[in-house]
Amino acid sequence: MNWSSQEFIAIDWAVLALGVVGVVWAVWRAIVKDKKAQQGEDSSAYLFGKGEPWYVIGMAIFAANIGSEHLVGLAGTGAKSGVGMAHWEMQGWMILILGWLFVPFYQLLINKMGKIITMPDFLKFRYTQRTGSWLSIITLVAYILTKVSVTALTGGIFFEYLWGLNFWVGAIGLILLTTVFTVFGGMKGVMTLSTIQTPILVIGSFLVLFLGLATLGGGNIAEGWTSMMSYCDQLNNGYGTTHMFHWEEGDSMYQEYPGFVVFLGATIIGFWYWCTDQHIVQRVLGQVPGESNEEVMKRARRGTIAAGFFKCLPCFMFLIPGMIAAALAEKGVIQMEETDAAFAIMVKSVLPAGIKGIVTIGFICALVASLAAFFNSCATLFTEDFYKPLKKGMTEEHYVFVGRVATVVVVVLGFLWLPIMMKMDTLYNYLQGIQSLLAPAMVAVFAMGIFSKKITPLAGEYTMIVGFLIGMVRLVTNVITDTGKAAMDGAFWEYTSWFWQTNWLVFECWLLVFLILFMVVVSCFTPAPSREQVEAITFTADFKKSIRSSWSAFDIIGTLLVIGMCSCFYAYFW
């Protein structure tokens, strides 16, 4: 047997088949056990899950984030542009803000409403009913434009290069598999799958990293790192791709990542994604009946700290292996016609037989778990924020069925957008570009709503609408002008060039500034928030005491370690 084969051989397929059977059995057993404990269907458990241990929450947050855009897009970006996109991945520090700052606010509202909340619930309580409804619409649009279509595309690419599978067979197969899993597994299935895949994914990716460096360095990992850095330092017309900030206008990557603006832009997207996005926040909101505020916040905070540690890993798991692949291709060790093929080719080329099968199990679980998390969040948003208010008093089985139907509809719409998305920018840039159009409105409304008691309900509602409309107009111009690259003739395009040609990160930052000023101005001319709305963001003395007693030295040390790890990465790749 050729253990160093660069293709899948019989033992890999055997390991893969046994692993898939084992995963299906473990998930099925967990779901059956959970239903027996609930004594039937429960829409709350299906959509949110119950209170999981902090380490499961941490793994679930991490698994919900890791998807095919990392296996394909992030590794491909590493092969092409080095560490420029690391700003969006080295955000363990941002997840800490969810646990330390936002969870107490969300828990306060859960106490007032007497039920687990969605993010639109929070805005409905702080602003108006329509504000929450607009958030639901924007979030669903975001999932369709990014998560479903991107995962279908990248999943198809990954399986094509890994197994030689037809692109559309891989893409459709992944979506169908995940749809079935989400429909029958619910949040418990997602949590269980996350627990299984996270250690396999982490260990497997680091095997790719170290074995790739060893291959590049002739058996020496340190030599491989030096060789990779030396090669990448020569790219980009001598400016190199081994630094996260590009300061000089002569640097070709400056046009894409202009100086410190790249950090600000990544932070805006990160704030929305990690602190206010339903499919992330949903993982920390599950509760055990009768659990105290202190216990809920302690478990949620420690879950976010654990996720913060995990979030420091993707740059080493995917982005740097992409850089290694580029260096290996330059030496002729591997053949890589497309940068998007980087990670799949590395798996095939550097992992020994048998290990390929084990690692691939983790990758498949990661794809399914991440996509299932989005599907589940879509079902939650539609069921809780649109359907239940219209159809009150229905059975729990009925609500679960409606959530499943909503999942299928989102899948269909995502596929309809896929052909348009395939004609736009490179994968990872496309993903962050779409998010940069949607994030400013969300960041402005959540941040100002929490930190200011003077922002009025109508200010939040109008800002959500205006921000979304501006973002969608910019998206339309991106489609027409190839993200500002095409030469457009005519007076209209000439006079509006500032709108459609401005760098996407600069546009995102100025849009956030405009929306914050817009909120302040509108608040000067509209009715002030009610006492109940202000109380929704005001901590009582007892609640402050429960917050203080929910953290200990363990939480402080863990938090500082996460911040330190992020800082060290920035210092090295500055």
Residue 163 to residues 155, 157, 160: CA-CA distances in angstroms?
A: 12, 10, 6
pLDDT given for residue 43 in this prediction? 47
Q: What is the third-level CATH fold of 10-423?
A: Sodium/glucose cotransporter (1.20.1730)
Block mean pLDDT (10 aa), the chain, length 574? 65 84 80 63 48 80 76 83 89 93 87 76 88 84 78 79 82 79 66 74 88 92 94 86 87 84 93 86 70 84 93 91 92 83 85 83 77 73 77 77 79 79 67 85 92 92 94 86 73 80 90 96 94 86 88 94 95 92
Query: What is the DSSP code string of 263-314?
Result: HHHHHHHHHHHHHT-HHHHHHHH---TT--HHHHHHHHHHHHHHHHHHHTSH
Q: What is residue 47's predicted lDDT score, i.e. its pLDDT?
A: 45
With CA atoms as reference, report the closest residue to 311 among 102, 509, 74. 74
Q: Where are the domains of the chain?
A: 10-423
| Alpha-carbon radius of gyration of the chain | 23
Q: For residue 164, what pLDDT is reported?
A: 81
Q: What is the pTM of this model?
A: 0.83
Contact 84, 256 (CB under 8 A): yes
Tokens found for residue 77: 């970006």
Nearest to 561 by CA among 275, 309, 304: 309
pLDDT recorded at residue 91: 92
